[in-house]
Amino acid sequence: MQALTTSARPRIGWGLVGAGGISDAHARALSYVPEARLVAVGSRDVAKAQAFIDKPRGDESITEPVRAHGSYQALVDDPEVDVVYIGTPHPDHARTMALALAAGKAVLCEKPFTLNRREAESAVALARRHGVFLMEAMWMRYVPAMVELKRLLAEGAIGEPVSVSADFGFSAAGLPATHRALAPELAGGGLLDIGIYPLNLAAFVLGDIVGVQADAELGPTGVDVHTVFNMRHAGGQRSHGMSSLRATTPCRATILGTNGSIAITPPFYAAQQLRVSRGTRPWEETPVEIVDKPWRGNRYVHQVEEVHRCLRAGLAESPVMPLDETVALVGWMDTMRAQFGLRYPGE
Ligand SMILES: NC(=O)c1ccc[n+]([C@@H]2O[C@H](COP(=O)([O-])OP(=O)(O)OC[C@H]3O[C@@H](n4cnc5c(N)ncnc54)[C@H](OP(=O)(O)O)[C@@H]3O)[C@@H](O)[C@H]2O)c1
């Protein structure tokens, strides 16, 4: 892949697909990265794109002119857009990735990457065929506390990692059945939306997953509203994840090792602090070392910097969230859904 040269274009131009909630957070993240420039927003409705750009935000997220486009195709065709950020509901991801990759644009696509493994494989094959950069927006992996977690584990701070457990839940009781978290046609359900974080953390810490056992309660709209899963990793370790739309959970994650443990101060997916306990004495007798690693700007800044780092280096994917791993994790969610009987319309 050709590296984006710093001399020809000192700043990297971003285009946002979908004038919704997460695109807003991403626009803010871009404003904290001096070499990023938001150049365009694409919506199915040009007036909505313009309203997104003009919205008073009470901060300095958008200070330069930004173009509004009335279709996702027009956004990906914008010559000033180097990277397309896809912030649409899950079922749209594969389609919009195909548009952007065919236009030769680098892509950062929100999680879950796609609805299922088949779609994920096609997107990755297309990126490889066109020789363009593609990355799942698994921002959790890039925050400084997660980088520190990996460093501590690699230096053996808690011995050999044995197990990971993590939960992510919020009560969706106040949401209408048409909300994307609950609507089957928008691939609602806790596993794809938030269960992906415990799943991803387990793989990040313990490596490849080789087996899963999942069970879920399906809610009135037919999607999973409380989901538990056990995983087996290639090295023989076990991990445990949970997602819930029925109950707000503490969003804890704990990594156990043969010589200690690390608790990520909640919420684990937006980590800023680690609590490290070293040794094999009983838990209540073990001192806790606090390691503070706050984000800079907002939580999504670090993944933007990773995209830039990869593009400057001419990489077609991030070594921190490799595409084959993204595909494999989507595949494990397929397996879990098959176990508890959830298929989405059109699958
Ligand atoms: N990384 C994170 O922390 C994080 C947080 C929240 C969400 N997400 C992910 O980001 C994605 C979007 O989530 P969101 O909460 O931002 O969603 P949202 O606000 O409901 O929708 C985002 C935008 O998607 C576009 N869209 C395209 N097809 C649509 C359809 N059929 N129905 C509704 N909207 C459609 C709309 O933009 P236009 O009308 O402008 O075309 C909408 O404003 C999801 O995949 C979610 O998992 C990630």
CA atoms within 13 A on the CB side of 289: 13
- Which helix (H) or strand (E) segment holds residue 211: the answer is strand 209-218
Distance 262 CA to ligand 1 centre (A): 33
Q: What is the per-residue pLDDT for 6?
A: 47
The reply to whether 190 and 131 lie within a common domain is no
Are 148 and 288 found together in one domain? yes
* 7 domain-assigned: no
Domain boundary among 95, 118, 140: 140
Q: What is the pLDDT of residue 4?
A: 59
Check whether residue 108 and residue 131 sit in a common domain: yes
Same domain (yes/no): 160, 73: no
Task: Provide the 3-class DSSP secondary structure of residue 169.
Answer: strand
What's the CA-to-centroid distance between 20 and ligand 1, angstroms? 5
Closest ligand 1 atom number to CA of residue 23: 16
Q: Evaluate whether residue 103 is within a structural domain.
A: yes
Cα–Cα distance, 141 to 149 (Å, whole number) = 10
CATH number, domain at 206?
3.30.360.10
Claim to verify: residue 54 and residue 163 sit in the same structural domain: no
Boundary of a domain, candidates 140, 167, 194: 140
Pocket test for ligand 1, best of 180, 196, 306 (most atoms within 8 A of CB): 180
For residue 33, tell me if it sits in a domain. Answer: yes
Is there a single domain that holds both residue 191 and residue 333? yes
The answer to whether position 309 is within a domain reads no
- Residue 234 neighbours by CB distance under 10 Å: 11
Query: Residues with Cβ < 8 Å from 25, sequence gap 6 or more?
Result: 298, 300
To test the pocket of ligand 1, the residue of 16, 17, 22, 135 to mutate (highest count of ligand atoms within 8 Å of its CB) is: 22
Identify any residues that bridge with 165 across adjacent strands, giving them in sequence order: 240, 254
Residues 161 and 289 in one domain: yes
pLDDT value of residue 59: 76
| Residue linked to tokens 């065709």 | 77
Residue 263 CA to ligand 1 center (angstroms) comes to 31
Q: Quick check: is 214 in a domain?
A: yes
Give pLDDT, residue 62. 85
Residue located nearest, by CA, to atom 32 of ligand 1: 89
DSSP sequence for 221-259: TSSEEEEEEEEEETTS-EEEEEEESSS-----EEEEETT
Residue 310: inside a domain, yes or no? no
Q: Assign 82 to helix, strand or coil.
A: coil
Structure tokens at 97: 């990735």
Q: Out of 114, 140, 166, pick the residue that ends a domain.
A: 140
Position 5 scores a pLDDT of 44
> Using a 6 Å CB cutoff, which residues line ligand 1?
18-22, 43-45, 48, 87-90, 92, 110-111, 137, 139, 180, 193
Amino acid at 197: Y
52 and 181 in a single domain? The answer is no
What span, in angstroms and rounded, lies between the C-alpha atoms of 41 and 19? 7
Q: What is the pLDDT of residue 2?
A: 59
pTM above 0.85, yes or no: yes
Residue 96 covered by a domain? yes
The answer to whether residue 313 is domain-embedded is no
Contact 246, 226 (CB under 8 A): yes
Are 158 and 70 in the same domain? no
At 63 the pLDDT is 84
Strand partners, 233: 209
User: Looking at residue 328, what is its pLDDT?
Assistant: 98
For each of the chain's 347 residues, which pLDDT tens digit applies?
656 544 456 899 999 999 999 999 999 999 999 999 999 999 999 999 999 999 988 777 788 889 999 999 999 999 999 999 999 999 999 999 999 999 999 999 999 999 999 999 999 999 999 999 999 999 999 999 999 999 999 999 999 999 999 999 999 999 999 999 999 999 999 999 999 999 999 999 999 999 999 999 999 999 999 999 999 999 999 999 999 999 999 999 999 999 999 999 999 999 999 999 999 998 889 999 999 999 999 999 999 999 999 999 999 999 999 999 999 999 999 999 999 999 999 89
Residue with tokens 């090792």: 257
Separation CA 290–CA 276 (nearest Å): 6
Is the same domain home to 18 and 116? yes
Q: Looking at the structure, do residues 149 and 243 belong to the same domain, yes or no?
A: yes
Nearest alpha-carbon partner for 39 in 47, 241, 49, 327:
49
CB atoms within 10 A of CB 79: 7
Same domain, 161 and 71: no
Listed in sequence order, the DSSP H helices in the chain are 21-31, 46-54, 72-77, 93-102, 117-130, 144-154, 190, 196-206, 301-313, 323-340
Nearest CA to ligand 1 atom 4: 22
- How many domains are there within the chain? 2
- CATH number of the domain that residue 21 is part of: 3.40.50.720
Q: Which domain holds residue 253?
A: 144-294+329-340
